[in-house]
Amino acid sequence: MAASILHSRASSYVEGSLSVFPTALDSTDNLYYVANNAETLTTSAVSFVSDIIPVVSTSFFPSKGLIKLDDEIIYYSAKKSKSFTGLTRGFVGTSRARHKNSTKVLGSIMGEHHNSVKDAILKVESTLGVQESRDDATIAGELANLKAKWETPQAAFVTNRTNGAPPLTVFFRDISTGSPIRWLWEFGDGNISPEQNPAHVYEQEGMYEVTLSITTAGNGISKVVKTSYIEVSSDLFAVFGHVAIYAVHSTLLGEFNNATNPLATLANWVKNGTVEQLSTLSGSAPLTVVFTDQTPGSITSRIWTFGDGDQEDISDSFTIYAIHTYTSLGAYKPILQVENDSTIVRSKLLPEIEVTL
């Protein structure tokens, strides 16, 4: 098929040649014409949340329509001479992605078949407004599916401890997203609770599975199951869990500190790409990081030593995170020390953090 590609300026073009919708035949009057293989390059990196795409030139692209960066399709509602704006990211079944500087930007999304953006070409902006359509093959249907996906609640919880000797009292805290209005806790020993943040006493030794089910005002539901989550036994002591380190822009700190559930806020930021877990453990100064500790057991205090002369002592067992900003260049070796209710102390040297220009 590639040998006989057709577009609206081809000599063989007749009205309707490019149409994919019989009820709305294309013509030279209603086509958004895109030059054969219209393309350009980005002039800087594009992040998950970028709402503008800077490029070398937009001169061969229509005033609005679809573009393709790597495997992500993006709808833009406006353009300037060197940028696309008014973006709808992760369009029509594709996913948001990061894109490096000098990434190729293609305007001929349908060009693999006939070098013309068909019926974006049918005026994509009007199709976006077809509220009565929920067909998965339509843009409105795709957007409805995306809306349902992202608005679906996510059940999540934390506890002040996950092991200890019987009778073991565990405090459960709900950090679910989606503003649930009903909760059902199943503690694994035959007992349940409808409270949002219950406490439960485990009388017998054993390993227990904990389940939290939530329901929202819009009848959205979600469930999380943690198998072998609570261990009730004698002679248990604190062992270290996973410590995650996240880079957080300084402009977000106020929202984080004022949040009702800071950990749920952080989880949402990680999910939508606003913040990222540091994988290389390096960043430019000033570098603000959030440390989160998942050490199980009845932790009574955490002492965070950040390696630059500062430290933070936290005696609230539910506050499993610490925030610190590194302002000077250098390599820092943070240390976490935890103490449980049996006064057993453990220290852990965390991965080195390098602060660069």
pLDDT at 2 over 60: no
Q: Is the CB of residue 296 less than 8 Å from the CB of residue 242?
A: no
Q: Which of 211, 232, 253 is where one domain is finished?
A: 232
DSSP readout, 227-258? EEEEEE-SS-------EEEEE--GGGHHHHHH
237, part of any domain: no
Q: Do 144 and 273 belong together in one domain?
A: no
238, part of any domain: no
Q: Say what percent of the chain tops pLDDT 70.
A: 65
Q: Do 26 and 119 belong together in one domain?
A: yes
* Separation of alpha carbons 186 and 198, rounded Å: 11
Q: Is the CB of residue 354 less than 8 Å from the CB of residue 289?
A: no
Neighbours of 332 (CB within 10 A): 20
Q: What type of residue is 226?
A: K
6, part of any domain: yes
80, part of any domain: yes
* Separation of alpha carbons 165 and 142, rounded Å: 51
Q: Do 21 and 121 belong together in one domain?
A: yes
Q: Which of 129, 150, 171 is where one domain is finished?
A: 150
Q: What type of residue is 129?
A: G
145, part of any domain: yes
Q: What is the DSSP letter of 177?
A: B
Question: Which token pair is 274?
Answer: 């606003």
CATH of the domain at 352: 2.60.40.10
Could you read off the pLDDT of 101-155 as tens digits, one per residue?
999 998 754 433 333 344 444 444 445 544 444 555 566 667 666 665 666 788 9
Q: Which of 168, 202, 232 is where one domain is finished?
A: 232
Higher pLDDT residue, 247 or 55?
Answer: 55
Q: Do 141 and 187 belong together in one domain?
A: no
Question: Which token pair is 55?
Answer: 């490029």
Q: Which of 60, 55, 44 is nearest to 108 (CA)?
A: 60
**In terms of residue numbers, what domain contains 183?**
157-232
Q: Do 16 and 110 belong together in one domain?
A: yes
* Separation of alpha carbons 116 and 330, rounded Å: 53
Q: Do 11 and 135 belong together in one domain?
A: yes
